[in-house]
Amino acid sequence: MSAHIVAGPVLTGGEALAPALNLYRFPHLYDVLKAPDDGDVAVVRELIERFVGPAPWAILDPACGPGNWLRPFAPHAALLAGNDNCPEMVEYTRACVGAHTVLGDMYDPQLPHTFDVILEASGVTSLVPDAATLCRWVGTLGSLLSKGGAVVLLMNFETPPAAELPAALWQSDWRPVPGGFARIRYDLLADMPGAQRIRRTVETEGGGWPPLIVEDYDLSVWPSDTLQALAAPPGMRLRACVDAANGQAADAQGERLLVFTAA
């Protein structure tokens, strides 16, 4: 299962961490290092087929990054669209994925279409400040759905605290990037009520990429009772909460995919 831990603001944490470097400003690196694996994509595809129906689909990712959650669905899509607040990501996704992309706020995507599927599976819900904002956002996304469409969101819910800190969360293998190789690692530095402090470390060899990009940031994790708060966002209703690893119905603990349809 590939890591879904999202980008966040750079925090020094009392250490010199080269704050000018941010992985999100290197779309090709981000795309390669955070591409969903086949299992992740299969789980999402099964949910879409269950709640929306067979392809082709018009799909929007409201915080698309480099389009790495749009690309796997290109063979099944009538329309691919992305929205992001980073100009580099918007241009990259347009050029490399062929999606209709716009620069804008994920809370209010300005697109002249409706969509069968609105998919945000990279985990940016952990950057939403509170449950009320999250509910309003789901309602806003719902207003962009075509009849019979669905919103699919990845949520990071609280889990039992780590026994020892710091703790290694996940590390990729070395992956080819233009001119060289790169890998990514996540470590848990602190486990706090409602948040985790994460360190993301990217190493590269060759290609003229920065040899080291290190970022510390706080990742919000949602208490399990957030699921009740999300039962009926404006104009929408929660239809499923499943384990992001296998697509099976699950409680609100760890990485979960939530599906919403019109009320």
pLDDT digits (tens, 9 = 90+) for 20-69: 589 999 999 999 999 999 999 999 999 999 999 999 999 999 999 999 99
Token pair in block for residue 40: 């992740």
- Give the pLDDT of residue 20: 58
Specify the pTM.
0.91
Question: Where in the chain is CATH 3.40.50.150?
Answer: 35-158+223-262
CA terminus-to-terminus distance, the chain: 32
Rounded CA-CA distance 200/170 in Å is 10
Domain over 35-158+223-262 is classified CATH 3.40.50.150? yes
Instruction: Give the gyration radius of the chain's Cα atoms.
Output: 18
User: What share of the chain in percent tops pLDDT 70?
Assistant: 92
Cis peptide before 129 (omega within 30 of 0): no
- Asked whether the predicted pLDDT for residue 169 surpasses 50, the reply is yes
